[in-house]
Amino acid sequence: MKARFIATEPLKQAGVTAEKEVWDQVQKAFADRACLGYWRYPIFSQVGNFRKEPDILLLDRAFGIIIIEVKALVINQIQQITGHLWQYQNFYTSSGNPYQQAENQLSSLLSYCHQEPDLKEQITSRILVALPNITQKEWENRGFHRLPSNPPLLLQNNLTASSDLLTTIETTVPLYQGNHLSERQWQLLLSVISGTPLHQKTTFPVLSPPKTRGKVLQELYQHISEFDHQQEKIGKQIPPGCQRIRGIAGSGKTAVLCQKAVQMHLKYPQWDIALVFFSRSLYPVIIHYVSHYLNRFSEEKTKFNAKTSKLRILHAWGAKTQPGFYRVVSEAAGISPLTVQDIPTPHRYQPQSAIALACDHLLTQTTIPQIFDAILIDEGQDLLVDDSVKRHHKQPFYQLAYQALRPVNPTQPQQRRLIWTYDEAQSLDHLTIPTPGEILGDELAHLLSSEYSDGIQKTEILSRCYRLPHPIITLAHGVGMGLLRKEGMLTGVTHPQDWEALGYQVEGNFQLGETITLKRPLANSPHPLPQLWEGEMIRFQSYATRQEELTALAEQIFTNLRQEGLRPSRNILVLVLGESRRLETTVAQFLYQQGIDIYLPSAPDCNIFETPSGQRNPNQFWCEGGVTISRIHRAKGQEADMVYIIGLDQVAQAEANIYLRNQLFTAITRTRAWVTLSGIGNYPFYEELQEVIASGDSFRFVYRQPPQRQIPVTPIGEFLMRYEAGERNFQNIELSGVVLSYFDLKGCNFIGANLQGANLSHACLEGANLVIANLEGANLSHANLRKAKLMGANLKNACLDGADLTYTDLY
């Protein structure tokens, strides 16, 4: 592991100049070490007057744990030092105890570590106080170096060279002496500090023989959760504005978003924060994650209380007995919220359209009050609608959320903390692509261009899949996008850099008739099941009749329960494809008649097939003792170890229907381990599915036609899609390293764009606005820059050989 560093917030704030100076030097000194560093690692419990939040925390495999407490003092501000108590003058506080403060922080960290037997008393730990504004000579002239309580210091002299800083730290006597960490101990330490739940211990005995599914799951639950630097960074960082997090299925989007919400809540308890989602069955999932992270980062001092917490977990719409985001904003605005019955048909029966129309109605009725400091939206694709329901080419729900936010800074009223996760492949009711312009409108799209300072991105892409075994995530992508269709791919990604961002290696270009090879390396799907399970993880079977299909399903579930040690609830999930409730009911009744207890989501108990509306619980998806049977919409965000997908013929009969393909993708990605697919009849689609399964983690196909729906992933992919659609406003866009040679970019707006290292040779940039754009190292050779505006642009090391600069405005 190379050194990684995480700043939990931008350091370009008043009062952190000294911390930034030390932080910058630490990053330089530790750059080549096996190290993870944090600026303001979150520990939020209070001890006396100390809040235990280290200025700088370093985890170094050789040095162990290092905490650096930074004080921006000049020598004259220290009146005296008595023991560990420092008396100040002309400082923001009259006294302090920097070393003891760091000791409290270290004690908290070690208490986490010592819960793991392999780490107990094994970690070397050091504490230093950094005084970047005080020299060695000034310190000694005051005689402080002679004090018995003189702490280990990093003074100005120690921060001028990386070697001096490392030597000072290495020669500091450890507060606790441990041992050199093995690779396993090092990974364990990283996981503990990240707050990852290490072991998901089973709560029931498994009596099945070795190598059965139940026994393999027990082994699986004992594996250390792999430390993921990107997840850790996203979960800990608080951006100073909008942020979107795109993640493939199983990449941990929901957990990361919940951790981010908790970090905000603990660090800024005065903030009003909304954590919003679309599917009501996600309530238990999100409450579980929020409770876990609150417990972990407050040292078990803070519990989630839905009635009193300023962190509010809100369904998008809400109900009479459970406030939702739309209802909360409506009531704050003094407007009576609409109910589903107020929405005209047919939109009333289309949940995404219904909530969009309700939001649109509210936006037209009144000025929206700014009542939240941060809004975080999970599974953001579920709250998008097609053009027929949009408000002035903008998404109504997102417009309502944005307007309900207070500005991050009064001097920048457009900057607001609207943060959302999404995966277009799981869109079940629309084909809208959530570009910045689509979400915020063209005039605000620039808020998601480029990046914030100190490594905080405006767009994050999670490409590693943890929940799904390697063969299953590739199956989902292959069949969901129709990569091996004889007629050509149906939907998906058509730019190599976008495939790479999703964790694939690419050979070939997406030009008609070209052969494309996609391969997903094992490292990007590090699920341990392939090493533990010797049998097949994916099974497909077609049957002549539905009776045969359901008989086989019942037999397999009986085997799971009686011979393999699986439990009916949460271990097993049956998903029914298609829109008809009839097949869902048929499956449930058949399994019940075979003696299998079943559960239909929202019912008050197992084995209930019809539930009056007043007795339904839309939040409930599982029932102890019963196998849940569900259609896909209700299963969003849920997961199980053994997933059965019934009714594949529903997709096969209309295999070119992208909505049905997305249903199948979502169904496949509900599993944590195994998936069995079945249908009736004989269709060409079944051959395609068999080909995808046989292809494993590598797909080779001919690019025969542009897909019906193109999905951009990276900013470059988004730019190319927007460009092909005729858009020319790209203010502040992030396009470093992009190849745009020979492109017609005449009249494009690139104000503030990052085009560092871009290849723009022979491009037409006539009349383009490149004011304050970053063109450092860009290749502009033979480009047409006639009448282009380049005032304030960074042209350092840019190549302008042969460029036409006629009437170009450079100053």
CA–CA separation, 11 and 173 (whole Å): 30
Q: Letter for the amino acid at 518?
A: L
pLDDT at 236 over 90: yes
Q: Once rounded to an integer, what is the mean pLDDT over residues 616-640?
A: 94
CA–CA separation, 710 and 725 (whole Å): 12
Give the Å distances, CA to CA, from 353 to 213, 314, 416.
41, 18, 25
| Residue 595 resides in a domain | yes
Q: What is the CATH number of the domain that holds 376?
A: 3.40.50
Beta bridge partners, 98, equal none
CA–CA separation, 184 and 198 (whole Å): 13
CA–CA separation, 799 and 758 (whole Å): 11
Strand 85-88 and strand 78-82: the pairing is: antiparallel
Tens-digit pLDDT profile for residues 49-74? 455 689 999 999 999 999 999 999 99
pLDDT at 133 over 80: yes
Give the Å distances, CA to CA, from 641 to 11, 505, 537, 556.
43, 28, 11, 14
Q: 636 with 608, same domain?
A: yes
Per-residue pLDDT at 391: 67
Tens-digit pLDDT profile for residues 324-375? 999 999 999 999 999 988 998 888 888 899 999 999 999 999 999 999 999 9
pLDDT at 582 over 60: yes
Q: Cα torsion at 282, 285, 289, 292 (round to 10°)?
A: 140
Task: Name the maximum alpha-carbon separation found in the chain.
Answer: 93
Per-residue pLDDT at 541: 98
Choose the final residue of a domain: 462, 497, 521: 462
Q: Letter for the amino acid at 590?
A: F
Q: Give the chain's count of helices (H) and strands (E).
A: 23, 30
CA–CA separation, 356 and 741 (whole Å): 41
Strand 698-702 and strand 515-519: the pairing is: antiparallel
Q: 182 with 286, same domain?
A: no
| Residue 207 resides in a domain | no
Q: 250 with 391, same domain?
A: yes
Q: Once rounded to an integer, what is the mean pLDDT over residues 569-597?
A: 95
Could you tell me the pLDDT band of residue 199, with boundaries at 50, 70 and 90? very low
| Residue 150 resides in a domain | yes
Q: 264 with 348, same domain?
A: yes
Q: In what order do the strands lie in the sheet with 95-96?
A: 78-82, 85-88, 95-96
Tens-digit pLDDT profile for residues 382-399? 999 988 787 677 899 999
Q: 168 with 278, same domain?
A: no
pTM over 0.85: yes
CA–CA separation, 553 and 536 (whole Å): 17
| Residue 484 resides in a domain | no
Per-residue pLDDT at 51: 57
Tens-digit pLDDT profile for residues 262-278? 999 999 999 999 999 99
Scanning 195-280, the segments in alpha helix (DSSP H) are 213-221, 229-236, 253-267
CA–CA separation, 110 and 425 (whole Å): 42
| Residue 471 resides in a domain | no
Q: 735 with 608, same domain?
A: no
Q: 593 with 697, same domain?
A: yes
3-state SS class at 548? helix
Strand (E) or helix (H) holding 558: helix 546-562
- Residue 109: what are its φ and ψ, rounded to 5°? -65, -45
Per-residue pLDDT at 733: 86
CA–CA separation, 386 and 404 (whole Å): 23
Q: 253 with 323, same domain?
A: yes
Q: What is the CATH number of the domain that holds 570?
A: 3.40.50.300
The total number of structural domains in the chain stands at 4
Nearest to 122 by CA among 162, 200, 180: 180
Say which residues have a Cβ less than 8 Å from residue 177's Cβ, sequence separation at least 6: 124
- Going by the DSSP 8-state scheme, the letter that residue 543 receives in this structure is E
Strand 273-277 and strand 374-377: the pairing is: parallel
Choose the final residue of a domain: 431, 462, 493: 462
pLDDT at 744 over 50: yes
CA–CA separation, 795 and 772 (whole Å): 10
Q: Once rounded to an integer, what is the mean pLDDT over residues 746-756?
A: 93
Tens-digit pLDDT profile for residues 80-90? 999 999 999 99
Supply 708's token pair: 């019906």
Could you tell me the pLDDT band of residue 198, with boundaries at 50, 70 and 90? very low
Strand 598-599 and strand 627-631: the pairing is: parallel
Domain hosting residue 266, numbered range? 230-462
CA–CA separation, 507 and 694 (whole Å): 20
3-state SS class at 549? helix
- Give burial (CB, 10 Å; 0-12/13-18/19+) of 456: buried
Q: Are 459 and 448 in contact (CB under 8 A)?
A: yes
Strands (DSSP E) contained in 169-247 are: 243-247
- Measured in residues, the chain has a length of 811
**More confident site: 442 or 283:** 283
Calculate what percentage of the chain has a pLDDT beyond 70: 96
Q: 252 with 156, same domain?
A: no
Could you tell me the pLDDT band of residue 129, with boundaries at 50, 70 and 90? very high
Beta bridge partners, 630, equal 575
Per-residue pLDDT at 590: 98
- Give burial (CB, 10 Å; 0-12/13-18/19+) of 787: middle
Could you tell me the pLDDT band of residue 428, with boundaries at 50, 70 and 90? low
Choose the final residue of a domain: 437, 462, 487: 462
CA–CA separation, 483 and 688 (whole Å): 9
pLDDT at 676 over 90: yes
| Residue 778 resides in a domain | yes
Strand (E) or helix (H) holding 39: strand 35-39
- Give burial (CB, 10 Å; 0-12/13-18/19+) of 77: middle
Q: 754 with 660, same domain?
A: no
Give the Å distances, CA to CA, from 782 to 180, 750, 768, 771.
57, 19, 15, 20
- Give burial (CB, 10 Å; 0-12/13-18/19+) of 477: buried
Scanning 641-698, the segments in alpha helix (DSSP H) are 649-652, 658-668, 684-695
Q: Are 39 and 55 in contact (CB under 8 A)?
A: yes
Other Cβ atoms closer than 10 A to 173: 7
Supply 262's token pair: 């908790």
Per-residue pLDDT at 631: 95
CA–CA separation, 750 and 729 (whole Å): 7
Q: 670 with 763, same domain?
A: no
Could you tell me the pLDDT band of residue 45, with boundaries at 50, 70 and 90? low
Q: Are 591 and 573 in contact (CB under 8 A)?
A: no
Tens-digit pLDDT profile for residues 454-497? 889 999 999 999 999 999 999 999 999 999 999 999 999 998 98
pLDDT at 200 over 60: no
Q: What is the mean pLDDT of the chain?
A: 92
Q: Once rounded to an integer, what is the mean pLDDT over residues 210-227?
A: 86
Q: DSSP of 288-322, one letter per residue?
A: HHHHHHHHHHTTT-----TTT-SEEEEESSEETTE
Strand 125-131 and strand 64-70: the pairing is: parallel
Give the Å distances, CA to CA, from 712 to 323, 424, 439.
35, 9, 15
Per-residue pLDDT at 15: 55
Q: 695 with 765, same domain?
A: no
Q: Letter for the amino acid at 207?
A: L
Peptide bond into 706 cis (omega under 30): no
| Residue 499 resides in a domain | no
| Residue 313 resides in a domain | yes
